[in-house]
């Protein structure tokens, strides 16, 4: 509207796009029935246009208005009057929703916050219970457009038509699951450069390192990895395996004697060295590992490290003395909870890869507070710590200190298995070692990691994907990410 296009014109374009999507969901035009549930705001105005266009296309249409239709004014009021010439307009009440082939949800828009109650809540429940496919306008009603949170009854849509660009509310949080298939409609709005983006395959293909004919093991980057403790060798094995599967030419692990013995037997392609005489790593480990660090291009620390005063002292020393790009995960994050000042002053790039509980500890918040607004939590941590932050989970959010975020669409429940986070740590470390910037290394690794999860599930043939399977699928995931997209 601020660009000079009349709001009624934008509304008309939006409603027509929604009508086209509704026809697809209904499976045709003639003989099909559509119910359009409208609120009193601009979202409802889009619904009035959609109802009018559906009727003109040959569908039998009713428009159900939640709230006082007499109070609808402006562009929405104009389109209500035009719709009333060809569509039956009814006030919402319990039982008003009839049998149909498709429902258009035009109740609430992207400005919605809180919980839908009263008739609005009843309308949402009725749409979900109808059995008909639902096409949502811009966002499923009941979902916060800014956070994706769904605090009360919320529409489960088969498709959501978003105007000009996808909103955070359908990209993250519960909204990403409730939105169904997201379709972007160009209605003539100029989309300015955004501080949030969805990672796409072309983005990844543009930054993933490619092997050249004269590549050698040093040119592909060298990863140093500090982790493991008595009884916890698995995590560091997974991170090391992932680093080499992601393309690192070298990976050298500094560990306790028991972990080093386990690594030597399981991973002959990974170098390892004993850096302490104790059962856990302390500051002496850094001294004994210094020569390795000098010959590498990135450091990963945390998998299987354990928590305690020795590990805390090691982390503080690493932050103070190591100037390599670094990824910190798992217990490396846990021992820093309440002691994060050293992070912000670090001169070299740093990537943190917490799950919600780890980030909650770092920010002194609760897990529900983190999950209520994942984008804001990741941004807050990135700004406070001066790091790139990967908030793991469904639709992982990657944030950098400037406030820019990337949302990852790959990966699913197959990654909900112990050790997959360690695999991600190794993948990030490999890309840092190859020379990518911290933000690019993080979102690129997260994307490929998600593709590897899907590939691992395909290979396994169903549930039961292990973290090792994900690490082994990384080369194929890289190949898939580099392939030209099928635009058919």
% of the chain exceeding 70 in pLDDT: 98
Which residues are within 8 A (CB) of 60 and not within 5 positions of it... i.e. 6 or more apart?
32, 33, 34
Confidence check: pLDDT of 487 > 70 = no
**Would you state the pLDDT for residue 189?**
87
Which secondary structure element, helix H or strand E, spans residue 326, and what is its range?
Answer: strand 326-328
Q: List 255's β-bridge partners, or say none.
A: 274
pLDDT at 488: 46
Phi-psi region of 27 (alpha: psi -120 to 50; beta: other; left: phi over 0): left
Say if residues 132 and 100 touch (Cβ distance below 8 Å). yes
| Beta-bridge mates of residue 407 | 198, 397
What burial class does residue 219 get, using C-beta atoms within 10 Å of its C-beta: 0-12 exposed, 13-18 middle, 19+ buried?
Answer: middle
The helix-helix angle for 438-460 and 474-482 (nearest 10°) equals 110
pLDDT at residue 150 greater than cutoff 70: yes
pLDDT reported for residue 462: 85
Report the distance separating Cα 284 and Cα 221, nearest Å: 26
278, pLDDT greater than 80: yes
Asked if the model's pLDDT at residue 214 lies above 90, the reply is no
Q: Which 3 state secondary structure label does DSSP give 250?
A: strand
Q: What is the mean pLDDT of residues 139-151?
A: 97
How distant is the alpha carbon of residue 479 from its chain centre? 22
- State residue 123's pLDDT score: 98
- Say what the pLDDT of residue 211 is: 77
- For the chain, helix, strand, coil in percent to 5 are 45, 15, 40
Residue 381 confidence (pLDDT) above 90: yes
Measured distance CA(446)–CA(427) in Å, rounded: 8
In this model, does residue 217 exceed pLDDT 80?
no
What does the pLDDT average to over 421-444? 98
* Mean pLDDT of all residues in 177-194: 92
List of domains in the chain: 7-192 (3.40.50.10260), 201-482 (3.40.1190.20)
Among the ranges given (43-52, 154-163, 226-235, 469-478), the one the predictor scored with the smallest mean pLDDT: 226-235
DSSP 397-458: EEE-TTS-EEE-----GGG-STTHHHHHHHHHHHHHHTT--HHHHHHHHHHHHHHHHHHHHH
Q: In what order do the strands lie in the sheet with 134-137?
A: 88-91, 60-65, 33-38, 102-106, 134-137, 159-163, 181-185
- Cα 205 to chain center, whole Å? 18
Mean pLDDT confidence for 96-108 = 97
Half-sphere exposure for 64 (CA within 13 Å, toward CB): 22
Average pLDDT of the chain is: 95
Q: Are 114 and 76 in contact (CB under 8 A)?
A: no
Percentage above 90 pLDDT, the chain = 90
Is the alpha carbon torsion for 415, 416, 417, 419 positive or negative? Answer: positive
- Measured CA to CA in angstroms, residue 327 lies from 159, 186, 425 at distances of 38, 39, 7
- Res 216: pLDDT: 63
């Amino acid at each position: 509207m601020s660009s000079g296009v009349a709001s009624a014109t934008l509304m008309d374009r939006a409603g027509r796009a929604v009508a086209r999507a509704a026809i697809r969901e209904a499976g045709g035009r003639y003989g099909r029935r559509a119910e359009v549930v409208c609120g009193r705001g601009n979202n409802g105005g889009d619904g009035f246009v959609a109802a009018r266009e559906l009727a003109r296309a040959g569908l039998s249409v009713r428009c159900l208005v939640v709230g006082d239709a007499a109070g609808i004014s402006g562009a929405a009021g104009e389109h209500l009057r035009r719709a009333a010439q060809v569509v039956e307009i009814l006030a919402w009440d319990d039982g008003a929703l009839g049998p149909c082939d498709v429902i258009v949800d035009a109740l609430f828009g992207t400005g919605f916050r809180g919980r839908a109650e009263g008739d609005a809540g009843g309308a949402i429940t009725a749409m979900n219970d109808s059995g008909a496919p639902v096409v949502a306008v811009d966002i499923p009603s009941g979902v916060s457009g800014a956070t994706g949170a769904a605090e009360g009854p919320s529409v489960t849509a088969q498709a959501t038509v978003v105007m000009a660009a996808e909103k955070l509310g359908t990209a993250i949080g519960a909204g990403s699951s409730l939105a169904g298939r997201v379709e972007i409609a160009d209605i003539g709005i100029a989309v300015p450069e955004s501080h949030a983006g969805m990672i796409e395959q072309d983005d990844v293909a543009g930054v993933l390192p490619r092997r050249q004919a004269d590549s050698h093991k040093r040119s592909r980057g060298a990863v140093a990895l500090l982790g493991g403790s008595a009884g916890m060798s698995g995590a560091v094995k997974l991170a090391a395996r992932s680093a080499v599967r992601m393309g690192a030419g070298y990976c050298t692990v500094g560990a306790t004697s028991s972990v080093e013995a386990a690594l030597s037997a399981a991973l002959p392609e990974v170098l390892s060295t004993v850096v302490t005489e104790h059962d856990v790593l302390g500051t002496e480990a850094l001294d004994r590992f210094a020569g390795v660090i000098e010959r590498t291009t990135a450091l990963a620390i945390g998998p299987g490290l354990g928590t305690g005063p020795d590990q805390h002292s090691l982390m503080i020393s690493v932050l103070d003395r190591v100037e390599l790009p670094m990824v910190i995960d798992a217990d490396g994050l846990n021992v820093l909870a309440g002691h994060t000042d050293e992070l912000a002053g670090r001169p070299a790039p740093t990537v943190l890869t917490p799950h919600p509980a780890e980030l909650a500890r770092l920010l002194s918040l609760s897990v529900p507070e983190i999950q209520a607004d994942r984008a804001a939590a990741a941004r807050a941590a990135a700004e406070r710590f001066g790091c790139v932050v990967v908030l793991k989970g469904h639709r992982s959010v990657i944030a950098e200190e400037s406030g820019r975020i990337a949302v990852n669409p790959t990966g699913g429940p197959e990654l909900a298995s112990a050790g997959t986070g360690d695999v991600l740590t190794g993948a990030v470390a490999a890309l840092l070692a190859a020379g990518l910037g911290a933000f690019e290394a993080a979102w690129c690794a997260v994307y490929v990691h998600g593709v590897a999860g899907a590939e691992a599930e395909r290979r396994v043939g169903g549930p039961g994907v292990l973290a090792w399977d994900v690490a082994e699928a990384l080369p194929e995931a890289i190949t898939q990410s580099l392939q030209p997209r099928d635009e058919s």
